[in-house]
Chain A
Amino acid sequence: MSQLRAALVLTVLFTLLTGLAYPLAITGLGQAMFPHPANGSLVKRGEVVIGSALIGQNFTADRYFHGRPSATSAADPADATKTIDAPYNAANSTGSNLGPSSKALAEAVAARAQALGEGPQPADLVTSSASGLDPHISPAGALAQVARVAQARGKPEAEIRALVERQIEGRDLGLLGEPRVNVLALNLALDAAAP
């Protein structure tokens, strides 16, 4: 009996301590000390929220740099039991989960590469990300799009290329992770510098 009592009492006590007090205290701390990241690292233009610095968004126009293929989906507005492709749906993260021997994956990779040009293309531009929300592309992936963006904007390629190079982020602390370009930041800089 004493064991049962201990089990029940400690379940309740620790739910209060670790399930409520702990996350709520961290929430209070986060809101007080780090309000920008705690609320999603939102990027605003004026008062309008245009996205999060951490979350990729769907770019399709020629005048913008494009992010990686995204496998996220959303409920079909016509039939809620079905889903439709909805790239960069930040309310429903997912990867493609296609296996390495998948024919569908091989065909998708081939089609994406051929749309970009001849021969092998930067791997990040032809494969879908893990989250479907990857905010980054590789420097090679950005440079591969310079000609298209320059043409769509009627600007010299050298100017756009210089802009991309300024946006390349190195490894964190010079050691960790991979060199990369944040696509939203790049496109914002592009709109500001070469409208």
Chain B
Amino acid sequence: MQADLLQAGIYALSLLALAVPLGWYMARVFTGGVTFLAPVERVILGAAGDGAEQGWKAYAAALLLFNAAGFALLFAILTFQHRLPLNPQGFDGLSWHLALNTAISFVTNTNWQSYGGETTLSHFSQMAGLTTQNFLSAASGMAVAVAVARGFAARQARHLGNFWTDMTRAILYILLPGAIVLAIAFLALGMPQTLLASVDATTLEGAKQTLALGPVASQVAIKQLGTNGGGFFNVNSAHPFENPTAITNLLSMLAILAIPAAFTFTYGRMVGDRRQGRALFVAMGVLLVAAFVALYAAERFGNPLHLAFADPAAGNMEGKEVRFGVIGSVLWAVTTTAASNGSVNAMHDSLTPLGGLVAMLNIQLGEIIYGGVGVGLTGMLLFVILTVFLAGLMVGRTPEYLGKKIEAREVKLAALTLLVMPIGVLVFGALAIATGTAQTSVQDQGPHGLSELIYAYSSATGNNGSAFAGFTANTPFHNTMLGLAMLLGRFGYILPILAIAGSLAGKTPAAATAGTFPTHGPVFVTLLILTILIVGALTFLPVLALGPIAEHVSVLAGRAF
């Protein structure tokens, strides 16, 4: 217990120590203050040829076009990988629905995987296809956050910046240098990086063992930094090649949350009031710690059904690795579901019922507990708008944020985004059940079967990408519907928040008066957290009661399915 909490403390402090300076650095990058790669930047942007300031519509159009081009290229690479180079195992091209699902998945920064990497994808697909989108989808999300921060801070402005410039700077100054440093550290700590596909070994007992290999370290570095999460191997970061030691485990977790956490500080600096960024950091931190405590307690207690046979001292070890233990697996599970990363180092399907519930709820709250790079911050800002609106209703004043009046247009757009998660999870999930496709895809009987389905659609809509992996998603129905859920969950948030930023950019901030409701103090942070929890609970409590809560009660009563 003490050793566990010590590890949690080390993680939390390292994260804070990393996020504060990174937040300062990123603010400098996006305001043009970092120029050490200026010649490269000029060549790239010169070739692109469109550096003019953009209003929110042009900014959004650029993002959509860029993501569409990325989708088309990735879909083509996956479909025709058997005709492309670097395919040492001779894998076939992917089926249309798997290629569709995978291309949407990586372009939307979800990295849901309906396939097992080492048995499906060529090295070319993994590198030119997936690694590229790991960078580009992350940079797209970061650009959105930067544009939104500019819009919130602007005074009677029509423009939010230039998408191509923001996206290029995110890659050149943040993602690429970070990935290179991290990949080298990972190599030194034991991760493979080779163009060979596999090596055959003869085990001590004389059996043949084929060890799948590949360019692992380079992909793992960016999959974490960009909150992508798509694994090189089927079991993702539980694979000893993808996460060999407790040190790579800690570095990976830090890489997952570093940029999302730093973005709160970047935001504070960009809107010219660092207290605003700190308030968001604290609100997210409170939710993260609460999730950790609940998940840790559930996994540490273990599975009541196994008490007579498994020594409870180690906690629930089904689907976990010895080198991480319960604490390393729990910290990771909280991190990856809070951050819309989706890489796993333990099998979430085998978490205890309440442990699985926390993982699921982290996603269902809208991926705003730090969330994905960039989009976690903007998702949180949507809740901020709703909270100042609710606070305004309570005291009977026009709601304001950063001195700007929040009016009907902004509130309507923010309220609209509250429909994204319920549509993607509840409506699509109900459709899967009504058509019978859910029942044939779930692995487990009883309430856990429902949990598997709900987790899949939550993960897709939240752009998380982790899974209750017993669920068979690689069918035409689920590949298509999960693909739609991912698109809805990505652009259903990005477009409204850009529109809000465009609208706020044109307003004039008023000076704070004695009657202004401050949005940086403990009262506001508490209200914000409560708003998030109430919205999440109202939306998902019924289905959680039928899934994980029913399962928890069954397990306590000694009932298996």
Contact A97 B187 (CB under 8 A): no
Q: Given A11-B69, A23-B218, A92-B119, are A38 and B194 also a contact pair (CB < 8 Å)?
A: yes
- Cβ proximity bits B368-397 to A, threshold 8 Å, 1 near / 0 not: 000000000000000000000000000000
> In the complex, A100→B61 CA distance in Å?
46
A120 touches B310 (CB 8 A): yes
Contact with A along B301-316 (1 / 0, CB 8 A): 0110111111111111
Complex contact B188–A34 (CB within 8 A)? yes
Residues of B within 8 A of A136 (CB): 321-323
Contact yes or no, B469 A99, CB < 8 A: no
Instruction: List residues of chain B with CB within 8 A of the CB of A103.
Output: 445, 560-561
Assembled-state Cα–Cα distance A138/B320 (Å): 12
| Distance, CA A121 to CA B551, complexed state (A) | 25
Within residues 291 to 335 of chain B, which ones have a CB less than 8 A from any CB in chain A?
Answer: 302-303, 305-325, 327-329
In the complex, are the beta carbons of B200 and A49 less than 8 A apart? yes
Asked if B215 CB lies within 8 Å of chain A CBs, one says yes
Contact for B176 among A18, A92, A100, A177, CB less than 8 A = A18
A23–B187 Cα distance when bound, in Å, is: 12
The residue that B305 contacts in the complex, of A101, A134, A140, with Cβ under 8 A, is: A101
Known: A13-B44, A20-B127, A101-B305. A40 touches B241 (CB 8 A): yes
B187 close to A130 (CB less than 8 A): no
Asked if B350 and A31 make an inter-chain contact with CB atoms under 8 angstroms apart, the answer reads no
Q: Which chain A residues border B58 with CB–CB below 8 Å? A: 3
Provide the bound-state CA to CA distance between A91 and B310, in Å: 29
Q: Kindly identify, within residues 71 to 112 of chain A, every residue whose CB is under 8 Å from any CB belonging to chain B.
A: 88-103, 105-106, 109-110, 112
Question: Which single residue of chain A is at the shortest CB-CB distance from B46?
Answer: A9
CB of B234 within 8 A of CB of A101, answer: no
Once the chains bind, are B218 and A22 in contact (CB under 8 Å)? yes
Contact B249 A176 (CB under 8 A): yes
Please give, as numbers and ranges, the residues of chain A lying within 8 Å of B202 by CB-CB distance.
Answer: 48-50
User: Per-residue 0/1 for B347-374: is the Cβ within 8 Å of any A Cβ (1 yes, 0 no)?
Assistant: 1011111001000000000000000000
Contact call B69/A7, Cβ cutoff below 8 A? yes
Other-chain residue from B118, B218, B468 in contact with A97 (beta carbon distance below 8 A): B468
Q: Does B13 contact A (CB under 8 A)?
A: no
A17–B204 alpha-carbon span in the complex (Å): 43
Q: Which residue of A lies closest to B179 (CB)?
A: A22
When each residue 107-148 of chain A gets 1 if its CB lies under 8 Å from chain B and 0 otherwise, what string results? 001101110000111111011111111111110110000000
- Chain B proximity of A168: nearest CB distance (Å): 12
B190's contact among A41, A98, A132, A133, by CB below 8 Å, is which? A41
Contact, CB under 8 Å: A130 / B314: no
Complex CA gap A60/B356 in Å reads 33
For residue B38, CB closer than 8 A to chain A, the reply is no
Q: Does any Cβ of A come within 8 Å of B32's Cβ? A: no
User: Chain B residues near A110 (CB, 8 Å)?
Assistant: 308-309
A90 CB contacts on chain B under 8 angstroms:
209-212
The answer to whether B132 has its CB under 8 Å from any CB of chain A is: yes
Q: How far is the CA of A15 from the CA of B70 in the complex (A)?
A: 9
Is A100 a contact partner of B309 (Cβ separation < 8 A)? no
A167 within 8 A of B: no
How far apart are the CA atoms of A114 and B325 in the complex, in Å? Answer: 23
Given A33-B187, A51-B203, answer yes or no on A93-B118 (Cβ-Cβ < 8 Å). yes
Nearest CB in chain A: distance from B21 CB, A:
23
Asked if A154 CB lies within 8 Å of chain B CBs, one says: no
CB neighbours of B135 from chain A (8 A):
14, 18-19
B window 54-104: CB within 8 A of A: 58, 61-62, 65-66, 68-70, 73
The answer to whether the Cβ of A153 comes within 8 Å of any Cβ in the partner chain is no
A56 to B239, CA, bound (A): 11
A175 in contact with B10 (CB, 8 Å): yes
In the complex with contacts A34-B187, A40-B211, A100-B323 CB distance below 8 A = no
Residues of chain B in range 386-415 having any CB-CB distance to chain A below 8 Å: none
Please pick, from B167, B315, B349, the residue contacting A98 in the complex, using a CB distance under 8 A: B349
* Of A2, A132, A177, the contact of B246 (CB 8 Å cutoff): A177
Interface string of B259-286 (1 = CB under 8 A from A): 0000000000000000000000000000
Residues in A with CB closer than 8 Å to B47 are 9-10, 13
B240, B314, B443: the one within 8 Å of A123 (CB): B314
Distance, CA A9 to CA B192, complexed state (A):
32
Cross-chain contact A100 with B136 (CB below 8 angstroms): no
Contact of B310 among A5, A113, A130, A191 (CB under 8 A): A113
B17 at interface by CB-CB < 8 Å: no
Q: In the docked arrangement, what's the CA distance between A94 and B249, Å?
A: 19
- Tell me if B173 is interfacial: C-beta within 8 Å of chain A: no
In the complex, how many angstroms separate the beta carbon of B78 from the nearest chain A beta carbon?
13
Q: Is the CB of A54 within 8 A of B235?
A: no
Q: Do B204 and A188 have beta carbons less than 8 Å apart? A: yes
How far is A27 from B213 in the complex, measured between Cα atoms in Å?
12
Query: Do A100 and B66 touch across chains, with their CB atoms under 8 A apart?
Result: no
Verify A130–B323 contact, CB threshold 8 A.
Answer: no
How near does chain A come to B442, taking the closest CB pair, in angstroms?
Answer: 10
Residues in A with CB closer than 8 Å to B451 are: 99
Nearest-CB residue, chain B, relative to A188: B204
User: Could you tell me which residues of chain B, from 463 to 507, have a CB within 8 Å of some CB in chain A?
Assistant: 468-470
B180 at the binding interface (Cβ < 8 Å): yes
What residues of chain A lie closer than 8 Å to B316, measured between beta carbons? Answer: 100, 123, 127
CB–CB B211/A109 < 8 A: no
Known: A51-B204, A100-B353. 13 other contacts (CB 8 A): A2-B50, A14-B132, A23-B219, A51-B203, A89-B209, A90-B211, A98-B349, A102-B445, A120-B308, A120-B310, A123-B315, A129-B238, A175-B10
Give B residues with C-beta under 8 Å from A: 3, 6-7, 10, 44, 47-50, 58, 61-62, 65-66, 68-70, 73, 116, 118-119, 127-129, 131-132, 134-136, 164, 167-168, 171, 176, 179-180, 183-184, 187-196, 198-205, 207, 209-213, 215, 217-219, 222, 233-235, 238-241, 244-247, 249-250, 302-303, 305-325, 327-329, 344-347, 349-353, 356, 443-448, 451-452, 468-470, 551, 554-555, 559-561
23 residue pairs of the A-B complex, CB under 8 angstroms, read A2-B50, A6-B65, A9-B47, A10-B48, A10-B168, A14-B132, A25-B180, A26-B218, A30-B217, A33-B184, A40-B213, A40-B241, A50-B201, A57-B207, A58-B209, A93-B118, A93-B234, A101-B555, A128-B319, A133-B239, A136-B321, A176-B10, A177-B324
